[in-house]
């Protein structure tokens, strides 16, 4: 499973997307992806002892852009590097994950659509001389496969050991798997709003989302790159997912039963559609936003990776599996999370080699609290950084 | 809004579907359905004082068949009347709702597909001389509209006052609306696993389900009766709904992460699909079961009625709205319900003219507990019967 042509990346550039060819990858299914590229961003610099690297792993539809570029105010531009990242304020100069102290690495997950090899990538010539996108032919990747790929990236960057591996939600699943697959390479593992294995409930929600995409007539079995993308299906998948990401009380207090401005939910308009409630308009907005930026096949691939997640697979009980870890664990959950229930984190923390307690992040917002409650996340991270 | 041609129904037949023409109905939207039929079943007999009638109102995909026919063992046949009903053991001779004492009436909701006028019914000749099914032209009906229609049915059956109006989930919403629209006609109101108004969360889930149906290429904007029905979309709607009907712990303990027998979730088969987890197969089963028996347009119509539910609309605060009721209330919730959260019932009970407490039904099963926990439901009903 060693990369065929590891490629040393020399000059980390803060908050700009770089790529690394990590060679071929043999998957858990024993299928082989002949040429794998991982996209990533970095902030800060690897120090002489190479002991200041931090790996940040994004969630389901996340990307490499955790934080703005670490540049001075004078050089502000409108480049992508200047867009706010998904954990802005958590990672940066002077932040809790201080990029003046740590070398932060954030890869796009294998199967993704932000530069890493995924279903929308051209196939290698050895598989298809026309080099059409993988589409339906993209193999099933597991969380372990994604972690193996990231280990090759770390090799290429000259990182033997990470001071910390950090992730929330799917990123937390990736972080856990890192700590158990490569215990000697992980000193601290920070897991927020995740659990030791995908639950039956999470599998059920993922199934609905996957079926929403495949129901879209544009999906064409996954080979839609010559035509229109299945935006309706991807948007529906997002609506389902987004509802699981928020709490019922939050939706109640934000939207209640209010009609969307200018619309009448108890009347059909001439086209036969009724007016929308405000919460429907909110979900329409998030559906469109994702459909405009994400590839539906990547959504399927990463969703399937998410539900493959099980740190106990082939490793015995949860306690036995975790006994192989040597890192310091830092586990937190969002109290109102109804996708990754608090009990999952609590059981996980209690099953560690040194049993502990998971930290509660108090939030009305449900699962998305791991992105929203910056102050509390910072306090959680201060236990490690 | 009086029925144009009320039709007296003379001979109630236990557990067999009957129909009643209630004439035209003016809806909240001010649209008019010129000819409305309501299907219903009855058990027992209306007594001389006409004070023993009980109205039982079904949930989203329910029907009129609450219980088996009340006939002697000798006459067992294989007729539909002999199939188990959805509240078997609750309604029948000697049951808590004793059909030897009460005259039980269970109508199919307006917009449904079990005999009442709905989108799959032929249009009246005055609207379309070809009498094609309503399809996309079926108007938006609210919970209040359905209650108005049922009042006309009660008129036709010679029932002025119900001893009790009883319902769970959407049926509970219908029961509440009965108690507030016709306070003088309801002596007791039993509401199980429902709430005073559809919440933003319920609207969000309904939206996903509605979009699943309309995404199906067979849907044809709702006018699919000449072609294949949108079974894929309806099945997906059911999967989403069914997941909200069960609790995460129940799914965990029943299915965990187990693979469906003979399938491999971490492998793609030749057709490109991965094997299923057992929970996916379970949801597939429920999806197919519903798609085989239900009309997708009726699902949309009743779902839209469900989210129209708001006993406070035009009636002031919850307390003010409830102050108009004169019945004895009996409110219960399922403790693990994550679609109609317990707080909705608790707030409702606390807002009654005589504030009380809602009764907890303890169940691991989530919302569906209102169909499953027969012993506890019986105990709840004993407070009224």
Note the pLDDT of residue A288. Answer: 98
At the topology level, CATH places domain A18-198+311-382 in Rossmann fold (3.40.50)
Work out the average pLDDT over A156-170.
98
Work out the average pLDDT over A3-14.
51
Alpha-carbon gap, residue A318 to A201, rounded angstroms:
19
Confidence check: pLDDT of A117 > 70? yes
Q: Establish whether B169 is a catalytic residue.
A: yes
Note the pLDDT of residue A116. Answer: 98
> Is the CB of residue B158 less than 8 Å away from at least one CB of chain A?
no
Note the pLDDT of residue A15. Answer: 81
Q: Which residues of B touch A308 (CB under 8 A)?
A: 265-266
Question: What ipTM does the predicted assembly reach?
Answer: 0.94
Work out the average pLDDT over B147-151.
98
First-to-last C-alpha distance (Å) of chain B: 32
> What is the residue-wise DSSP string for B318-333?
HHHHHHT--SEEEEEE
For the stretch A118-158, pLDDT in tens is 999 999 999 999 999 999 999 999 999 999 999 999 999 99
Interface of A with B in 262-281 (CB under 8 A): 265-268, 272, 274, 277-280
Do residue A207 and residue B283 have CB atoms under 8 angstroms apart? yes
The SS3 of residue A205 is helix
Work out the average pLDDT over B135-161.
98
In terms of CATH architecture, what is B202-248+277-302?
Orthogonal Bundle (1.10)
Element (H, E) at A91: strand A91-92
pLDDT mean across residues, chain A: 94
Note the pLDDT of residue B271. Answer: 73
Domain ranges of chain B: 18-198+310-382, 202-248+277-302
Note the pLDDT of residue A70. Answer: 57
Work out the average pLDDT over B135-154.
98
Q: Give B26's Cβ-side CA count (13 Å radius).
A: 4
Note the pLDDT of residue B269. Answer: 83
Element (H, E) at B289: helix B278-293
Note the pLDDT of residue B78. Answer: 53
Given the residues B148, B188, B309, B367, select the one marked as catalytic.
Answer: B367
Confidence check: pLDDT of B113 > 60? yes
Same topology between domain B18-198+310-382 and domain B202-248+277-302: no
Q: Count the neighbouring beta carbons within 10 Å of the beta carbon of residue B300.
A: 26
Q: Dihedral angle at the C-alpha atoms of A292, A297, A300, A304, nearest 10 degrees?
A: -140
Q: Establish whether A152 is a catalytic residue.
A: no
Q: Which residue, chain included where needed, has tokens 């792993």?
A: A57
At the topology level, CATH places domain B18-198+310-382 in Rossmann fold (3.40.50)
Phi, psi of B104 (to 5 degrees): -100, 130
For the stretch A282-326, pLDDT in tens is 999 999 999 999 999 999 999 999 999 999 999 999 999 999 999
CATH number of the structural domain A202-302: 1.10.1740.110
Interface of A with B in 341-360 (CB under 8 A): 341
Work out the average pLDDT over B237-266.
97
Q: Which residue, chain included where needed, has tokens 């108090």?
A: A362
The SS3 of residue A220 is helix
For the stretch B55-99, pLDDT in tens is 999 999 999 999 986 554 444 455 666 789 999 999 999 999 999
Q: Give A103's Cβ-side CA count (13 Å radius).
A: 20
Question: Which percentage of chain A shows pLDDT scores above 70?
Answer: 93
Confidence check: pLDDT of B9 > 60? no
Of the given ranges (A75-84, B81-90, B126-135, B359-368), which has the lowest mean pLDDT?
A75-84
């Amino acid at each position: 499973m060693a990369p065929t042509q590891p490629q040393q990346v020399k000059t980390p550039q803060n908050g700009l997307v770089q790529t690394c060819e990590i060679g071929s990858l043999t998957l858990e299914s024993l299928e082989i992806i002949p040429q794998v590229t991982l996209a990533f961003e970095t902030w800060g610099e690897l120090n002489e002892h190479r002991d200041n690297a931090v790996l940040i792993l994004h969630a389901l539809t996340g990307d490499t852009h955790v934080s703005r570029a670490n540049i001075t105010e004078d050089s502000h531009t409108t480049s992508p590097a200047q867009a706010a990242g998904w954990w802005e304020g958590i990672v940066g100069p002077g932040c809790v994950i201080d990029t003046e102290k740590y070398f932060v690495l954030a890869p796009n997950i294998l199967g993704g659509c932000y530069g890493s090899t995924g279903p929308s990538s051209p196939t290698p010539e050895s598989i298809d001389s026309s080099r059409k996108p993988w589409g339906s032919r993209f193999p099933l990747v597991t969380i372990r496969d994604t972690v193996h790929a990231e280990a090759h990236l770390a090799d290429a960057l000259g990182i033997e050991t990470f001071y910390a591996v950090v992730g929330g939600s799917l990123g937390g699943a990736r972080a856990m798997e890192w700590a158990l697959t490569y215990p000697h390479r992980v000193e601290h593992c920070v897991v927020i709003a995740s659990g030791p294995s995908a639950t039956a409930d999470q599998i059920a929600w993922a199934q609905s989302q996957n079926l929403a995409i495949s129901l879209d007539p544009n999906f064409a079995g996954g080979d839609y790159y010559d035509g229109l993308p299945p935006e309706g299906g991807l948007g529906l998948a997002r609506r389902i997912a987004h509802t699981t990401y928020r709490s019922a009380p939050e939706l109640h207090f934000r939207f209640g039963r209010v009609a969307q401005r200018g619309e009448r939910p108890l009347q059909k308009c001439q086209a036969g559609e009724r007016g929308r409630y405000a919460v429907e308009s909110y979900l329409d907005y998030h559906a469109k936003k994702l459909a405009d930026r994400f590839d539906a096949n990547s959504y399927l691939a990463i969703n399937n990776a998410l539900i493959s997640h099980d740190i106990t697979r082939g490793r015995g009980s949860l306690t036995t599996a975790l006994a192989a870890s040597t890192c310091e664990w830092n586990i937190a959950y969002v109290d109102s999370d109804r996708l990754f229930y608090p009990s999952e984190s609590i059981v996980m923390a209690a099953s560690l080699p040194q049993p502990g307690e998971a930290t509660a992040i108090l939030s009305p917002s449900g699962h998305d609290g791991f992105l929203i409650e910056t102050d509390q996340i910072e306090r959680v991270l201060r236990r490690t950084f």
